[in-house]
Amino acid sequence: MKNDKEIEPVEIFTGKLWQAQSVKNLLENSGIEAFLLDEIVGSLNFPWASAGGIGLVKVIVSTADFENAKLIVYTHENNTDKQM
């Protein structure tokens, strides 16, 4: 039986390698441990990479940090959209 307080990895962001590295840095600067998943595949920069598709890199955090990480990613995405 699973304990409700178990900490598990959860995806917080998916994007191109440089985007995922930027989000990971933001999270780590805020004291949230994060790691990249599919970093090698994402670094190949497939021309057919699309939202949720091959070639995208995922940023993973623990469920314990998910709510704080979600706020940081949301703020980052909104600020990035306004600058473009």
- Please write the tens of the pLDDT for every residue from 41-82: 666 655 555 555 566 889 999 999 999 999 999 999 998 766
Q: Give pLDDT, residue 53.
A: 57
Name every residue whose Cβ is closer than 8 Å to that of residue 15 and which is 6 or more positions away in sequence.
23, 56, 57
Q: Give pLDDT, residue 42.
A: 62
E-assigned strands of 16-79? 35-37, 57-62
Six-digit token string for 41: 């595949």
Please give the residue that has the higher pLDDT: either 1 or 82: 82
Average pLDDT value for residue range 23-36: 97
Average pLDDT value for residue range 23-41: 92
Please give the residue that has the higher pLDDT: either 9 or 38: 9
Instruction: Select 9-83's CATH number: 3.30.479, 3.30.70, 3.40.50, 3.30.1490.
Output: 3.30.70
10, 67 contact by CB (below 8 A):
no
User: Domain segments of the chain: what residues?
Assistant: 9-83
